[in-house]
Chain A
Amino acid sequence: MEECIGISVTGVIGMDMDRQSFHEAFNKNKIDFIGCDAGSSDGGPYYLGASASMLSSYVIEKELEILLLKAREHNIPLLLGSATTGGNREQLKIQENQVRAIASKHNLHFRMALIDSELDPDFLKLKLAKGQIRPFEDGAHLPALTEKDIDNSNHIVAQIGAAPFVKALNDKAEVILAGRACDDAIFAAVPISKGYDLALSLHMGKILECAAASAEVHTEGIPGRSALLGKIRKDHFLVVPTNEGWASTVSSVASHDFFERINPVYQPNAEGMVDLSNTHYEQIDPRTVKISGTKIIEGHNTFKLEGTTPIGYRSICLGAIRNPNVIERIDTLITGARKRDEENFGDVEYILDIRKFGMDACLGELEPVKTLPHEVGILIDVVAPTQEIATAVCGLTRSNMTEGKFKGQKGHGGNMALPVVPFVIEMGLTYKYSVWHLMDIDNLCEGIKNTYYEV
């Protein structure tokens, strides 16, 4: 147990990777595993709810092919977590099919583990009855879960920690595909299975999970992308980007510990609370940082649960206004269009949101800048009980914004240009998070199913 080296190629598979430095890294290092995150909840509930992929499957398959070929060439484990964005059972199946297609194209053979972290309603109701599902106590998330919330959800997944991956490694899996998983766990599993320190393994996972997002570009010109190497040893780990124009620095790594976390010092994981209060960062060469001192407060094992429920159908329309005569009266125009909707659709429930890009679309009522721009982008966004109604409301709003008359109007050719045809785009079902809770677990694999296949 001298050191264990993992490589992270990209923050999420399908987001683009630096192929050259990835291949070179294997010539310069004895790499022990390849890890890659394949999902995220950052984009909101849609992808989990609709079993859709946030990134193009065309790019995902190309990158998956590179990773799978490399892992098999070097006979090292390939671990992926949060399959096809949301990590539900259907999304795990999509990723399984992608891997099988690549294996068959290249005549690859390996032992594959599938880790299913979607939880069944009956299991969840039992846990709820035992008082083992709790809301977050900060008041920012959802209130206490009910049986009805479980019944109304179309998918509920658990964000697993490293244990189900470690189990798959112990069961000799060579390719591991998991449903929803903590990003850090994907990279912590191999070190943990080899007996490295739990806190350091998870912390290295946290730095590796976004690939070289924790590094800086040090050469002029086109930055490109970079993978990140993590080398764990007995009492510390090192991180260094594969692209030689990039560098890990004490400030870039320490600031990455803040990234996407509510609290930078105490970070909850399924295994316990990772404690960075005594973490030490040291620059050991211009591109490499050494990290030590991270601890873990073990116990209080939990999975975070994420679940979605459909809330209606969505239709959108994009518009563009260049006429200053119209921009001056934009709020009158919008109010007028809304009034026409109320008269036409007073008997149906819908949500209509009209945003003005170039004015206040990004910050809403917090926008302090009030000067009128020369050009405004418009998004008409509607959610309604059926696609037909959503499209009807969106379409009528569009007509009344385009054709609406007002006092002082100079010319009536149309108020708003329509840059995208078809004018109204049907988006299908839209979702909200119905579940975002903590579940106390009796063991680190509770409710999680590992299955194995000889591919």
Chain B
Amino acid sequence: MLQQRKLIDVARVLRSRSADPFVQTIDIFFDDEEIYKKIKQHQIINKEIISKCYRIEPKEILELIYFDTAKGIKISMKRRIPSGLIGDSDPYGVCPQVLLYDFPIPL
């Protein structure tokens, strides 16, 4: 049986930040080339799981890019509320990555 680990335990960095007042981004970086390659090869992080996790339409995910040079994944999506408007608690968008912490990575 495959062993499962949490994304937060296999990633070097898991962070979120607004790219602009309308766009939330999440960056995931790995130290371990093997783990990064496996996640990329099997597209373990994909638009479907992001759309489910953040309850947005797949078309509202602007980018989901695997970037080998940095052993990283960039996810950009439409913000639910633009930065700094009433109802927004997080103009810099620093919280949403926590929803991916426990995401299971089969290894």
A386–B73 CA distance with the chains assembled, in angstroms = 46
Residues of A with C-beta under 8 A to B77: 140
Q: Main SS of chain A's interface residues?
A: loop
Q: B79 to A42, Cβ gap below 8 A?
A: no
Knowing A42-B83, A254-B70, A351-B86, the reply to whether A366 touches B13 (Cβ < 8 A) is: no
Q: A44 to B21, Cβ gap below 8 A?
A: yes
Residues of A with C-beta under 8 A to B19: 260-262
Residues of B with C-beta under 8 A to A110: none
Residues of B with C-beta under 8 A to A43: 83-84, 91-92
B42 within 8 A of A: no
A265 within 8 A of B: yes
Partner of A258, one of B53, B74, B79: B74
Q: How many A-B residue pairs have CB under 8 A?
A: 126
Per the 8 Å Cβ criterion, residues 57-100 of B in contact with A are 59-60, 62-63, 65, 67, 69-72, 74, 76-80, 82-92, 95-96, 98-99
Q: B95 to A263, Cβ gap below 8 A?
A: no
A129 within 8 A of B: no
Partner of A264, one of B72, B95, B96, B98: B72
A265–B74 CA distance with the chains assembled, in angstroms = 10
Q: A264 to B23, Cβ gap below 8 A?
A: no
| CB nearest to A314 among chain B residues | B86
Interface membership of chain A positions 376-398, coded 1 if the CB is closer than 8 angstroms to chain B and 0 otherwise: 00000111000000000000000
Q: Which of A42, A138, A258 has the most chain B CB atoms inside 10 A of its CB?
A: A258
Number of interface residues of B (CB under 8 A): 47
Per the 8 Å Cβ criterion, residues 248-272 of A in contact with B are 251, 254-255, 257-265
Per the 8 Å Cβ criterion, residues 278-292 of A in contact with B are 279-281
Partner of A261, one of B25, B31, B85, B98: B25
Residues of A with C-beta under 8 A to B76: 262-263
| CB nearest to A254 among chain B residues | B70
Q: A254 to B72, Cβ gap below 8 A?
A: yes
Q: Which of A44, A45, A280 has the most chain B CB atoms inside 10 A of its CB?
A: A44
B interface residue numbers (CB < 8 A to A): 12-13, 17-23, 25, 27, 29, 31, 53-55, 59-60, 62-63, 65, 67, 69-72, 74, 76-80, 82-92, 95-96, 98-99
A interface residue numbers (CB < 8 A to B): 41-46, 138-142, 251, 254-255, 257-265, 276, 279-281, 314, 351, 353, 355, 361-366, 368, 381-383, 430, 432-433, 436
6 contacts between A and B (CB under 8 A): A42-B18, A139-B78, A142-B22, A254-B69, A353-B87, A362-B95
Given contacts A254-B69, A258-B29, 18 further A-B contacts (CB under 8 A): A42-B20, A42-B21, A42-B83, A42-B91, A43-B83, A43-B92, A44-B88, A140-B22, A140-B78, A251-B31, A258-B72, A260-B19, A261-B74, A262-B20, A264-B65, A276-B69, A363-B95, A365-B55
